[in-house]
Amino acid sequence: MNDSKPSPRFLLINPFRLPAGSRFIHRPVEGPKEIQLVNYGDVEHVLADVDWDLHPGPLTRHGDWSATNREEFAYVAADRLQIVRDACASGKYDAIVLLGGAEPGFQDAREIGKSFGIPVTGCAFSQMHIASMLGDRFSVIDLYEAHAKYFANIVVQHRFAERCASIRNIEYPLPRPGVEDRFPVGLQREKALAGEPSEMLETCVREAVAAIEDDGAEVLIFGCSATYWLRPFLQRRLNELGWDVPVLEGQSAAIQLAKLLVGLALNASGLTFPSSRPVKTRRRILP
Amino acid sequence: MNDSKPSPRFLLINPFRLPAGSRFIHRPVEGPKEIQLVNYGDVEHVLADVDWDLHPGPLTRHGDWSATNREEFAYVAADRLQIVRDACASGKYDAIVLLGGAEPGFQDAREIGKSFGIPVTGCAFSQMHIASMLGDRFSVIDLYEAHAKYFANIVVQHRFAERCASIRNIEYPLPRPGVEDRFPVGLQREKALAGEPSEMLETCVREAVAAIEDDGAEVLIFGCSATYWLRPFLQRRLNELGWDVPVLEGQSAAIQLAKLLVGLALNASGLTFPSSRPVKTRRRILP
Amino acid sequence: MNDSKPSPRFLLINPFRLPAGSRFIHRPVEGPKEIQLVNYGDVEHVLADVDWDLHPGPLTRHGDWSATNREEFAYVAADRLQIVRDACASGKYDAIVLLGGAEPGFQDAREIGKSFGIPVTGCAFSQMHIASMLGDRFSVIDLYEAHAKYFANIVVQHRFAERCASIRNIEYPLPRPGVEDRFPVGLQREKALAGEPSEMLETCVREAVAAIEDDGAEVLIFGCSATYWLRPFLQRRLNELGWDVPVLEGQSAAIQLAKLLVGLALNASGLTFPSSRPVKTRRRILP
Amino acid sequence: MNDSKPSPRFLLINPFRLPAGSRFIHRPVEGPKEIQLVNYGDVEHVLADVDWDLHPGPLTRHGDWSATNREEFAYVAADRLQIVRDACASGKYDAIVLLGGAEPGFQDAREIGKSFGIPVTGCAFSQMHIASMLGDRFSVIDLYEAHAKYFANIVVQHRFAERCASIRNIEYPLPRPGVEDRFPVGLQREKALAGEPSEMLETCVREAVAAIEDDGAEVLIFGCSATYWLRPFLQRRLNELGWDVPVLEGQSAAIQLAKLLVGLALNASGLTFPSSRPVKTRRRILP
Amino acid sequence: MNDSKPSPRFLLINPFRLPAGSRFIHRPVEGPKEIQLVNYGDVEHVLADVDWDLHPGPLTRHGDWSATNREEFAYVAADRLQIVRDACASGKYDAIVLLGGAEPGFQDAREIGKSFGIPVTGCAFSQMHIASMLGDRFSVIDLYEAHAKYFANIVVQHRFAERCASIRNIEYPLPRPGVEDRFPVGLQREKALAGEPSEMLETCVREAVAAIEDDGAEVLIFGCSATYWLRPFLQRRLNELGWDVPVLEGQSAAIQLAKLLVGLALNASGLTFPSSRPVKTRRRILP
Amino acid sequence: MNDSKPSPRFLLINPFRLPAGSRFIHRPVEGPKEIQLVNYGDVEHVLADVDWDLHPGPLTRHGDWSATNREEFAYVAADRLQIVRDACASGKYDAIVLLGGAEPGFQDAREIGKSFGIPVTGCAFSQMHIASMLGDRFSVIDLYEAHAKYFANIVVQHRFAERCASIRNIEYPLPRPGVEDRFPVGLQREKALAGEPSEMLETCVREAVAAIEDDGAEVLIFGCSATYWLRPFLQRRLNELGWDVPVLEGQSAAIQLAKLLVGLALNASGLTFPSSRPVKTRRRILP
């Protein structure tokens, strides 16, 4: 390897940050970047040749619980855009990686990145693109119905409707006022790591098999980032069942896509994200 | 008519409001609702049997110019949602009509409306639905490329890509820092009203004819609301040319659609906008 | 409300009329319009501000039973067109509402209406358009397979194939020579009204749930008009099961759509229904 | 060849017949079948191994001019169905070939044919199917806009929208009250046969080339049967221009398709045209 | 019938030939053409008026077992092309019929045929085209998963994805090193002929019914040619179950399609298979 | 950067090799890999961190000219597969990169790679995937019509038809017997490098602008690899014209995609390329 080639500089930005004392916190909001980046162990290898920072994301203003519906996503989307703008303006980064499964504000962030010549990748976008390289159709495993439906809109927006076999909902809603946390994700993960039965993993396997057998999925990806930890577990279980099907997760996908784009010096087409002051314009745009 | 039936109560909400002293103001931001509602004369007849209020929309926080790109739309979308939430919670309205061509935050507002049992309509959504009742394909006349491309995404999001023949861009960008106002919309309208040649109207006619002859449009609608005033002029001009094609504009469309929904006591499916606390959930969602 | 605004004048036309003595009669063919209009109670509220007449439809010439296949629909379609033409020519109506689920002759009637500047709405067309305003996909509950397949063709013709999740057949065929009436619709309705188990309603609920869970339906509409009475019953049952999904029926949909069009002074594009003596013609038409 | 194999027996049925004295007659309505079948010379070779009869079609009841709009097609469709039913019931035919470009009543006639086990072919249907065997997209040359738009609906109904590059309208409307016959088709054909310039042929060549170069057509077919005579002329002209593109016409296509189906003892699926008394029914039909 | 009309001359070419001593042989590789053409009895009637030869196909070079994956199909495709070229150049044939279900090299062979003015038909292509004449959607019964997936690609390549309801895999893989022949096809057929239970037929019936009830199939066709013998058995069984659905097989379909094309003097569009030395070229090709 | 991480080992394989003395040679067939890899300078930066070998590809057996039609592509496809198999079996490579624009045998090579757990990328596939990350639609610039049409089939096969705005043909056919080399590609390139007018570049610019303005392209890619050298020239020219649109070429795209896959330890889904001895199989495959 050409060791004179410098590592690309990435900023990873969480979708939002809960206030420190919130009883709804489900991922670390303090500590070194390797702690704040959930499932760090699963992406460590793809970050090995990256010079990266982590931004904890905007503090939620809708309350002290995770954003889980359209309204709340709209708030965190707007607030994260300002972080993206500042990061691009700082000149410190070659690419921005938006963390979080639902990609709030992703397309808007790409517009900002485009104006600075900096690629921005998101976890849903990247999983869909990579999944489409591997098989003819993918299915999404998602955490709860409102997220799954929101994700369905992202699939349409990213023009992957023909590639998406289904979105399979395992219905483990994130806690919020009025919604208790029956199966805390962290606990589920600990059980799975300990080799104990995890309800969440079992449901995930059941839905993944249904996606393969009933919906025509040939690749599996994840929706809400709170499901990403399931990737290695689901991959192993499917292989054990005899299903030779790749399972992706969003963070490594978004990091790898950012590397690919940086390596080709690409970000996005100026026709897809027209400048507010374009040099040349089209008379006719197609939907 | 059964005069014991009360008129429906609608709140019309502008997408944003520029600060009072801005040099970029292009529609009245003070005065009675009939003044603040642009092109009031064109929608007066459909408001005749409605009990309506007008909200001027959120004050822009990105600057003192109109929102014209994705980033700015994201900011006004988030801020308008709080107005929608308050209006729904007030119990004073049977429907919310979101003004403005690009519908920032429309789908999110529908989610809020759904949770209160109140329909929310938008001008792009309503024009597309009504256009589809009249002909097999519609084209959109839009004001400048960045808006046209944003609108293209709305078309896809509303799943009208197969119905949309094209988006025709007349490239009369709204003024903003760095973009001067070569052809102020207000002046163009005055010229057209006075029967003088209006560059904007002429471009609009040329693109509408191209949409009909080259793209297969059978109905015409408008993108940015700053083009809505063109509707009666374009309709007349096309008829004079021999083209028997309906031309819609967004405000009357959104008001009529709201009436239709209120009359049927409908707002939106709970499966399309799932509650944060749903009673019943699906295992499988399709994109 | 502006009480000087006159009520719109509508003519509602039944698809056909069985001869008075027929043993296959399943809806009143005599009496005041409120009696001849089936399920009047379900549409009374949307007719409250309409000045309406009812035409009983053409007398069947294929026999004394209901039209239930393509051949018979073609006969009643042709015969109803003459009623439409006469109604348009009379100058007495602002809109024509074609009753009946399968819309025989609907597109042809729109052509006639267009030539008089009068909108014509149909029950399948209207339900599909309104359903698409409420959710991403709708399913159709239909009465028997031949009707369901005929309806499938209407869905394609109206270019709603991408929006239609499925047509669910409950297989309660209308009686005709050789097909006995095992479960008379009228009797089924009486049972349902009396709170007794109705086989037809139970099948309808089962298929509606399958449409939601298996096919991806987010809105439900009806095919054959002999199923329209089920709307309020199905709506209640689905809600009781926890499914927050709108259920439409054709008559109120077609009446509301007619009002919307009359309010906007629209009927249909002259490019979609070209005149036999057009002023301007296109070189290129797209399918 | 196995000469013990009997020739298949076909009935060819014209779409309608004008009354004998009409000034709008544009094809022979008397004389032997070879005279009444227009362009007999162009199909003689495919009829060589067929035992065929010709039915002149139903007498028009809308007036003494050709059916040229939706309303008139609906009348002749209904009236031709009775001829189809009688022909099937006679036991004299192995297949029915519906002549005429717009196929009024074709799908309904197939339903009748299906109930007798007899295939029914039409000229639009057959051209589209054969064109799809030859190239990836076809364009249609049609006679006037109302026909072209009607044909567009047939393309959709037959589910060939993705295969149809365009319908190219040469705008030579058939004469009717109020529409004079500026370029009588018969005269145009005589000119072409005499090697003189024919306006109709020139327009046809221009539109065919546009279909190839601009629309992506790889095969050409015809809409209204009054254009069928153009086939050999257009084929030659395109070849002379260097375009190696097949040109079809409807009558030979419909006859050959009927032979193919008779040879395989096929007519239509009973699931596509369900019987009024089906043995087995489906719960779920897709659009 | 005009007995002076000569019979068309066809060459039928098997996809490959196993070496004489192979233990994997599953169809005769010696003897008269009626013996080497599998299921001759099922196609005898469509060959009655054809003057035909049979070519045994290229000897396999990948080994002494049947080609069953992409790599092996690529080898036999290349080798069969040379047979096609020689046959076309010989001037002895009016059409080439490629036998075998997966059509290796079919599109390439059409290019060769086009350059000689000779139509080439294949069994998958022909079945799909004819199935589309009979119903709105077809399903494919295929022999094992790798073939089914290969066939899925053919469906896409032939642009029938919208018409294809599903490919149903019965998983009876052809024997090859490492894959034993648990249910020899020949034995299964003998059992079926003897009226004894055949596992293969039972699985086929089960999957065909699932295709009808669950997938929306209205016509059934076959994938791998080793399933073609099932056609009459499956047709009878489905009819006995009450399903009035046509079942096709590839050889008769390909022969009939060849006759249709020869009868119309057609082969393929020169725009679909451009010459290496075209006279005229397009600037713009559509996918 | 983690310099203990070894560079990935790639084998780049040319599509074919002309015999040494051929008068049709248009790229070096001898010398070090940097010479034999055409346009090495354009891909040097993406190969900097790769440990790569180059295979010259199979010797053509159809003649001593480049493969330019379907038949010839089928021959070189089959012959290159054996090189792929040997390379995979050697254990020396982490990925295989197939050079050449038309990707002969690419899908078949992926099947082989899958069986060894090694990703295989191709230049058309990779360009399409990356283009789809950058904009909503891409157009392809191709060298001559037969290649463009072949490429159109690849677009369909890779399921990018909805993303592909057009394939623009500049018609500079590669020389072969009967086709002289009017504009040798090498000479065109030299002219362009020298800043002199190059007919090929001018045509390329004209077609690229047409793709943007008329077809809706937002990204540009190349078809035949003999056009790849145009990338930097076209990019500059479009930028100078004011079009901010990314232009890709195949070799760097295929190399970067291979890196992305290797970095994620992915190759292809076992359901998309089923093994000849699968552990688990599906009953139902979708097209």
- DSSP letter string over chain F? --TTSPPPEEEEE-S-B--TT-TT--S--SS-HHHHSTTHHHHHHHHTT-EEEEE--PBPSS-SS---SHHHHHHHHHHHHHHHHHHHHHT--SEEEE-SSS-TTHHHHHHHHHHHT--EEEHHHHHHHHHHHH-S-EEEEESSHHHHHHHHHHHHHTT-TTTEEEEEE---PPPBTTB--SS-HHHHHHHHHTT---HHHHHHHHHHHHIIIII--SEEEESSGGGTTHHHHHHHHHHHHT----B--HHHHHHHHHHHHHHTT----TTTS--SS-SS--SEE--
Of A2, A259, A271, Cβ closest to residue F48: A2
Please tell me which of the candidates D79, D108, D157 has its beta carbon nearest to residue C156.
D157
Of the candidates C155, C156, C283, the beta carbon closest to that of D169 is on C283
pLDDT band at B1 (very low <50, low <70, confident <90, very high): very low
What does the alpha-carbon distance between residue B207 and residue B211 come to, in Å, rounded to a whole number?
6
Residue pair D193/D233 in contact (Cβ under 8 Å)? The answer is no
Q: Which residues are registered as beta bridge partners of B10?
A: B52, B95
Q: What mean pLDDT, rounded, does chain F reach?
A: 96
DSSP E23: T
Whether the CB of B280 is below 8 Å from some CB of chain A: the reply is no
D210: contact with C, CB 8 A cutoff: yes
Least confident among C262-266, D183-187, E279-283:
D183-187
Tokens (6 digits) for E227:
């399933």
Is residue D142 exposed (0-12), middle (13-18) or buried (19+ Cβ within 10 Å)?
A: buried
Question: Is residue F4 less than 8 Å (CB to CB) from chain A?
Answer: no
Instruction: Find chain E residues with C-beta within 8 A of D49's C-beta.
Output: 1-2, 5
Q: What's the pLDDT tens digit per position in E97-154?
A: 999 999 999 999 999 999 999 999 999 999 999 999 999 999 999 999 999 999 999 9
> CB–CB of D284 and C164 under 8 A?
no
Rounded CA separation E115/E110 (Å): 9
F264·A245 Cβ contact <8 A: no
What phi and psi values does residue C99 have, to the nearest 5 degrees?
Answer: -85, 170
pLDDT at E183: 80
E15 touches chain F (CB under 8 A): no
Could you say which of E134, E256, E278 has the minimum Cβ distance to residue D272? E134
- pLDDT band of C18, cuts 50, 70, 90: very high
d(CA E225, CA E101): 5
Main-chain phi, psi angles of D138, to 5 degrees = -120, 155
Report the gap between the CA of C75 and the closest CA in chain D (Å). Answer: 5
Q: Is D46 on the interface with E (CB under 8 A)?
A: yes
Q: Does C209 touch chain B (CB under 8 A)?
A: no
Q: Do B270 and C216 touch (CB under 8 A)?
A: no
Q: Which residue has the tokens 């993206």?
A: A84
Answer yes or no: are the C-beta atoms of D101 and D250 closer than 8 Å: yes
Contact A74 B105 (CB under 8 A): yes
Question: Residue D219: helix, strand or coil by DSSP?
Answer: strand
What is the arithmetic mean of pLDDT over F11-23? 95
What 3-state class would DSSP assign to D120? strand
CB-CB under 8 Å, D284 with C167: yes
Chain D partners within 8 Å of C166 (Cβ) = 284-286
- What's the DSSP call for residue D98? E
Q: What average pLDDT does the segment B34-39 reach?
A: 94
E108–F283 CB contact, under 8 Å: no
User: What's at A244, amino acid-wise?
Assistant: D
Phi, psi of E165 (to 5 degrees): -70, -35
| Rounded Cα distance, B104 and B118, in Å | 18
**60-99 in chain B: CB under 8 A from chain C:** none
User: Inter-chain contact B169–A283, Cβ cutoff 8 Å?
Assistant: yes
Q: What percent of chain A has pLDDT over 90?
A: 92
Nearest CB to C283; choose among D207, D273, D275: D207
Q: What angle do CA C270, C274, C278 make, to 5 degrees?
A: 95
pLDDT at D5 over 80: no
Judge whether B156 is closer than 8 Å to chain C, CB to CB. Answer: no
User: Sign of the C-alpha dihedral, residues D70, D75, D78, D81?
Assistant: negative
DSSP chain C: --TTSPPPEEEEE-S-B--TT-TT--S--SS-HHHHSTTHHHHHHHHTT-EEEEE--PBPSS-SS---SHHHHHHHHHHHHHHHHHHHHHT--SEEEE-SSS-TTHHHHHHHHHHHT--EEEHHHHHHHHHHHH-S-EEEEESSHHHHHHHHHHHHHTT-TTTEEEEEE---PPPBTTB--SS-HHHHHHHHHTT---HHHHHHHHHHHHIIIII--SEEEESSGGGGGGHHHHHHHHHHTT----B--HHHHHHHHHHHHHHTT----TTTS--SS-SS--SEE--
**Single-letter residue type at E150:** Y
Complex ipTM tops 0.90:
yes
Residues D110-132, mean pLDDT to the nearest whole number: 98
- The contacts of residue B155 (CB under 8 Å, 6+ apart) are A287, B124, B128, B140, B161, B164, B167
Asked if A166 lies within 8 A of B285 by C-beta distance, the reply is yes
> Among candidates D173, D126, D130, D127, which has minimal Cα distance to D148?
D173
- Find the closest chain B residue to A146 by CA distance: B274
| Interacting residues of D250 by C-beta distance below 8 A, sequence separation 6+ | D99, D101, D122, D123, D124, D126, D127, D221, D222, D225, D228
Q: Please report, for residues F45, F89, F142, the alpha-carbon distance to residue F128 in angstroms, rounded to integers and kept in the order given.
A: 21, 29, 14
Query: Do the Cβ atoms of E242 and D136 come within 8 Å?
Result: no
Q: Comparing C123 with B185, which gets the higher pLDDT?
A: C123
User: Model confidence over E207-227: pLDDT tens digits?
Assistant: 999 999 999 999 999 999 999
Q: Is A209 on the interface with F (CB under 8 A)?
A: no
Q: Taking CB atoms and an 8 Å limit, are C157 and D153 in contact across chains?
A: yes
Candidates C85, C112, C145; nearest CB to D282: C145
Q: Which of D278, D271, D269 is nearest to D119 (CA)?
A: D269
Q: For F167-178, what is each residue's pLDDT tens digit?
A: 999 999 999 999
Bridge partners of D142? D169
E134 CB within 8 Å of a chain F CB:
no
Is B153 an interface residue toward A (CB < 8 Å)? yes
**Quick one: pLDDT at residue F4?**
60
Contacts of E284 in chain D (CB under 8 A): 213-214, 216
Q: How many angstroms separate the Cα of A83 from the Cα of each of C179, D274, F131?
A: 70, 61, 27
**Distance between CA F57 and CA F40 in Å, rounded?**
17
* pLDDT (0 to 100) of residue A185: 86
- Burial degree of F3 (CB within 10 A; 0-12, 13-18, 19+): exposed
Query: Is residue C174 exposed (0-12), middle (13-18) or buried (19+ Cβ within 10 Å)?
Result: buried
Q: B227, B207, B91: which is closest to B151 by C-alpha? A: B227
> What is the pLDDT tens value at each position of chain A, 287 positions in all?
445 678 999 999 999 999 989 999 888 888 999 999 999 999 999 999 999 999 999 999 999 999 999 999 999 999 999 999 999 999 999 999 999 999 999 999 999 999 999 999 999 999 999 999 999 999 999 999 999 999 999 999 999 999 999 999 999 999 999 998 888 888 999 999 999 999 999 999 999 999 999 999 999 999 999 999 999 999 999 999 999 999 999 999 999 999 999 999 999 999 999 999 999 999 999 99
Query: Which tokens go with D70?
Result: 């939706």
Given CB atoms, is F130 within the 8 Å cutoff of chain A?
A: yes
Quick check: A167 and B271 CB within 8 A?
Answer: no
Q: Is the pLDDT of residue B87 over 50?
A: yes
Instruction: Express each pLDDT in E230-251 by its tens digit.
Output: 999 999 999 999 999 999 999 9
Backbone angles phi, psi at A132, to 5 degrees: -70, -15
CB D159 within 8 A of CB C156: yes
Dist. CA C181–CA C173, nearest whole Å: 8
Residue F2 confidence (pLDDT) above 70? no
Do the chains D and A touch each other, judged by at least 3 C-beta pairs below 8 angstroms?
no
Whole-number Å distance between alpha carbons of F184 and B131? 53
pLDDT greater than 90 at residue D1: no
Q: Which residues of D touch E246 (CB under 8 A)?
A: 266, 268-269
Nearest partner of F269 among A216, A244, A163, judged by Cα: A244
Place of tokens 């002074």: C265
If one counts every other C-beta atom within 10 angstroms of the C-beta of residue A182, the result is: 9
For chain F, the residue count is: 287
Compute and round to an integer the Cα radius of gyration of chain A.
19
- Which of A147, A91, A107, A105 lies closest to A14 in space, CA to CA? A105
Whole-number Å distance between alpha carbons of B110 and C135? 11
pLDDT of residue E3 exceeding 80, the answer is: no
Give the integer Cα–Cα distance in Å for B205 and B170. 10
Output b/e per residue, C21-55; b: 16+ Cβ within 10 A.
Answer: eeebbbbebeeeeeebbbbeebbeebbebbebebb
Q: Do chains E and D touch (3 or more CB pairs under 8 A)?
A: yes
Task: State phi, psi for A98 to the nearest 5 degrees.
Answer: -85, 120
pLDDT tens figures, F39-78: 999 999 999 999 999 999 999 999 999 999 999 999 999 9
Please check the confidence at residue B23 and state whether its pLDDT lies above 80. yes
- Give yes or no for a contact between A206 and A199, defined as CB atoms under 8 angstroms apart: no
F222, β-bridge pairs: F141
Which of the two residues, B25 and C8, has the higher pLDDT score?
Answer: C8
Given a cut of 80, whether residue E42 has pLDDT beyond it is: yes
Which of F162, F218, F269 comes nearest A271 by C-beta?
A: F218
